[in-house]
Amino acid sequence: MVPSWLHNVTSPPSEPEARRPSGPEDAPTHRMDVEWPSDHCPAMLTLQKSMRSPYFPARSVLFHKEPNGVTYRVPALLYLSRSRTFMAFCEERLSPSDSQAHLLVLRKGTFYRNYVEWDDLRVLGTAFLPGHRSMNPCPVYDEFTGTLFLFFIAVLGHTSESYQLVSGRNVTRLCYVCSTDQGDTWKWATFALGPGHGIQLKSGRLLIPAYAYHIECKECFGQLCQTTPRAFCFHSDTHGRTWHFGEAVPVPESVECQMVSVDEEDGTNVLYCNARSPLGYRVQALSLDDGAVFQEGQLVQRLVEPRNGCHGSIVGFPAPLHLCTSLDSHLHQPTSHSRHWTSSNISTSVPNPSPSPPDFLTPTWVVYSHPTWTSARRDLGIFLSLFPRDPDSWRGPWVIYEGPSAYSDLAYLELSPSPGAPPAVAFACLFECGTKTAYDEICFSIFTLYELIDNLPREAQLGNIGHECRRRQNEVPETDCTSGHGAQSPAVFHEEPGVKKRRKKLTEMCSVS
Domain count, the chain: 1
Asked if residue 39 is part of any domain, the answer here is yes
Q: Please, is 458 exposed, middle or buried when counting C-beta atoms within 10 Å of its C-beta (0-12, 13-18, 19+)?
A: exposed
What CATH number is associated with residue 325? 2.120.10.10
What average pLDDT does range 115-142 have in this prediction?
A: 96
Asked if residue 438 is part of any domain, the answer here is yes
What average pLDDT does range 286-315 have in this prediction?
A: 97
In 3-state terms, what secondary structure has residue 160? coil
Asked if residue 6 is part of any domain, the answer here is no
Asked if residue 44 is part of any domain, the answer here is yes
In 3-state terms, what secondary structure has residue 165? helix
Asked if residue 104 is part of any domain, the answer here is yes
Asked if residue 8 is part of any domain, the answer here is no
Q: Is the pLDDT of residue 499 over 80?
A: no
What average pLDDT does range 119-130 have in this prediction?
A: 95
How far does the chain reach from its first CA to its final CA, in angstroms? 47
In 3-state terms, what secondary structure has residue 470? helix
Asked if residue 13 is part of any domain, the answer here is no
Question: What value does the mean pLDDT of the chain take?
Answer: 78
pLDDT recorded at residue 192: 56
Structural domain containing residue 372: 23-510
Q: Is the pLDDT of residue 20 over 80?
A: no
Q: Is the pLDDT of residue 301 over 50?
A: yes
What average pLDDT does range 98-127 have in this prediction?
A: 95
Catalytic residues: 98, 407, 432
pLDDT in tens, 156-174: 988 888 778 777 778 899 9
Is residue 506 within 8 Å of 389, Cβ to Cβ?
A: no
pLDDT in tens, 399-442: 999 999 999 999 999 987 777 777 889 999 999 999 999 999 99
Asked if residue 16 is part of any domain, the answer here is no
What average pLDDT does range 168-191 have in this prediction?
A: 86
pLDDT in tens, 38-75: 333 433 333 333 344 679 999 999 999 999 999 999 99
**Alpha carbon separation from 485 to 85, 300, 384 (Å, rounded):** 41, 13, 22
Q: Which pTM value belongs to this model?
A: 0.78
Is residue 235 within 8 Å of 290, Cβ to Cβ?
A: yes
